[in-house]
Structure 1
Amino acid sequence: MWQGVIPAVTTKFKQDGGLDHAEMERCFAYQMDAGCHGLVACGSLGEGNMLSHEERLEVLKLCKQATADKPALLTISEPGTREACELAKRAAGAGADGIMIVPSPIYHTSRSETIANLRTITQAADLPVMIYSNRVGYRVDVTPDMMEELADDPRFVAIKESSDDIRRTTEIFNRLGDRYAVFTGVDNLAYEALTAGAVGWIAGLVVAFPKETVAIYELIRRQRYEEALAIYRWFRPLLDLDVSTFLVQQIKLAEVIEIGSNDRVRMPRQPLSGEHRKNVEHTIKVAVESRPSLPQF
């Protein structure tokens, strides 16, 4: 159902802290013009938990405006199931093509609680669902056996696999075949996951480097592995910026340098400063100066 490169977009803010609609329109259009296959709003990179429900729905609508007939998904990441169901219903009403569910960002649910939470939110939205499995970031692991139990509901269509263990991708296929569309959610495991059978990439650094991200995906899809690997090896220092407590600030700084955006964030986050900022700027600028020519595909 879903496949390809789907950016987890950043949320843009004005100097007064409000949403910067114009800048998001520009940045989202830039992703789609580069050949991306959809957008995910208000995830971890999109600072979703720092936004009100109304703000999240505004970002979703901007995503849908940019994607047109391609999917625009809203991330549902609420402490309580009741609040998650409310937002999921509103997402459906606002035109979301689907939702991506974080099982529980605060309370670390048990197996039965995780399954019940996912089912209840899905019932409320009545939309296609991508399950966000991220045991590193959220300490709730949606395992292949849980995916198998949930497989009786056809609304569960995809997995964002972010366990940080590349073996998990093969384990899902071995257990469930192609029941789910498996997406990699870890930037610096993307080549490995895509060559292991993942059909898509929920990407982070794509917001600054969409053409390179799409090229890797498209070349792998055409089995042009050596060409894809050459780009991936160049990209790898940048992709490492996604795997950090500071991924939001680091990736927004990449947007500043590469596409002339801004790196404003919602408190308690603050933009990078000092040596940390200098080091990240150096990594980005070295990559920009040595970027490879992209092959035709």
Structure 2
Amino acid sequence: MWHGVYPAVTTQFAEDLSLDLPACQRVQTALVDDGVDGLVLLGTVGENNSLLPDEKRAVLRTAVEALRGRTVLVTGVSELSTDRAVQFAQDAEKIGVDALMVLPAMVYVPKPEELYAHFKAIAEATSLPIMLYNNPPAYRVTIDLDTLERLAPLKNIVAVKESAPDPRRFTDIINRLGDRYKLLAGLDDVALEGLLLGASGWISGLTSAFPRESVELVRAVDRGDWEQARRIYRWFMPLLHLDAEHDLVQSIKLAEQIMGRGSERVRMPRLPLSGQRRAEVTAMVEKCAATQPTLKA
């Protein structure tokens, strides 16, 4: 666990925007068939907070039924309050997922003491391994180093998904806490920098559109083939920048649709890309598709 490529999987909707569980299963299975190392379900790209509680649990059951034993299944825990997060974590464990990706409570911006208490309560309520998700641009909360150090005695908090745009965070965490936490690169357009600086894996949005290239990039890093890794990264970078934009979900789902891997349908308040932005993203995806790098066997 916590090594390689973990796509942040999209949640698929029917034309009436109801949850399309067979389509979710097809997207999940196709990514595993293409060699990814695990799946992150119900994250930002999975539109966690656009789903009803029963729908979230249905997505997890669908994935477990289709893929248990084939890959690692991680679910996002993204709730408005700590008690709801605790309940969801416990339900996810009963359903059979392998690990949790825990976010700060949504909407409210906590003080460090509150952030610590939120994560501690969830960790003590489950036996599953937990990865904390640090994404200050999206969620207005930084999991500071003092909080990470306070949480260190909680043995099932084992990893951090680092999505701060400053890759110096990887070195700062390692210098402060050594190998206490596995680190995973969580922002696509600084992923290679994170892997160079000590991340053991990459939780990726654009992998949903180009999984084989993503897998090869990390494999190249693992074998020390930096020339190959840089070549793929430079080819991929125009699309990877999309992961840092506020419309990342729509852009990733459009890319997925263009590549024949899913639908661009999103739930409001999001709307599918339109106009000039849609044309720009479409052109970027089509260019990447036309210039895909040669992958090593």
Normalized against structure 1, the TM-score is what? 0.97
Distance 1:260 1:168 in 2: 33
Q: Which residues of structure 2 form unaligned runs of 5+?
A: none
User: Does structure 1 conserve the Cα–Cα contact (< 8 Å) formed by 2:10 and 2:47?
Assistant: yes
User: Does structure 2 conserve the Cα–Cα contact (< 8 Å) formed by 1:104 and 1:138?
Assistant: no
Distance 1:70 1:283 in 2: 30
1:122 deviates by 1.5
Aligned length: 296
Give 1:283's aligned amino acid.
Answer: M
Tell whether 2:203 aligns with 1:217: no
Give 1:61's aligned amino acid.
Answer: R
Tell whether 2:35 aligns with 1:35: yes
Distance 1:232 1:34 in 2: 18
Alignment of structure 1 residues 84-95 onto 2, 5 Å: 84-95=85-96
Distance 2:177 2:261 in 1: 43
Distance 1:10 1:212 in 2: 18
Distance 2:291 2:135 in 1: 33
- Residue range with higher mean Cα deviation, 4-13 or 24-33: 24-33
1:67 deviates by 5.1
User: Does structure 1 conserve the Cα–Cα contact (< 8 Å) formed by 2:28 and 2:63?
Assistant: yes
Q: Structure 1 residue runs of 4+, over 4 Å off?
A: none
| 1:130-180 residue CA offsets vs partner (Å, 9 max, x unmatched) | 000111111111122211111101100110001111000111111111111
Distance 1:67 1:158 in 2: 22
Map of 1:23 onto structure 2: 23
Q: What secondary structure sits across from 2:202 in the alignment?
A: strand
Alignment of structure 1 residues 137-148 onto 2, 5 Å: 137-148=138-149
Map of 2:63 onto structure 1: 63
Map of 2:283 onto structure 1: 282
- Residue range with higher mean Cα deviation, 66-75 or 173-182: 66-75
- Residue range with higher mean Cα deviation, 235-244 or 139-148: 139-148
Distance 2:91 2:163 in 1: 26
Map of 1:265 onto structure 2: 266
Q: What secondary structure sits across from 2:128 in the alignment?
A: coil
Give 2:130's aligned amino acid.
Answer: V
Give 1:276's aligned amino acid.
Answer: R
Map of 1:162 onto structure 2: 163
Give 1:129's aligned amino acid.
Answer: I
Alignment of structure 1 residues 174-185 onto 2, 5 Å: 174-185=175-186
| 1:9-46 residue CA offsets vs partner (Å, 9 max, x unmatched) | 00000112221122111111111111111111111110
Map of 1:203 onto structure 2: 204
Give 1:148's aligned amino acid.
Answer: E
Map of 2:150 onto structure 1: 149
Distance 1:258 1:70 in 2: 23
Tell whether 2:37 aligns with 1:54: no
Distance 1:247 1:67 in 2: 28
> Does the C-alpha gap of structure 1 residues 87 and 193 become closer, same or farther in structure 2, counting only changes over 3 Å?
same
Map of 2:121 onto structure 1: 120
1:260 deviates by 4.6
Q: Which residues of structure 1 form unaligned runs of 5+?
A: none
1:70 deviates by 2.7
Identity across the alignment (%): 42
User: Does structure 2 conserve the Cα–Cα contact (< 8 Å) formed by 1:36 and 1:214?
Assistant: yes
User: Does structure 2 conserve the Cα–Cα contact (< 8 Å) formed by 1:38 and 1:67?
Assistant: no
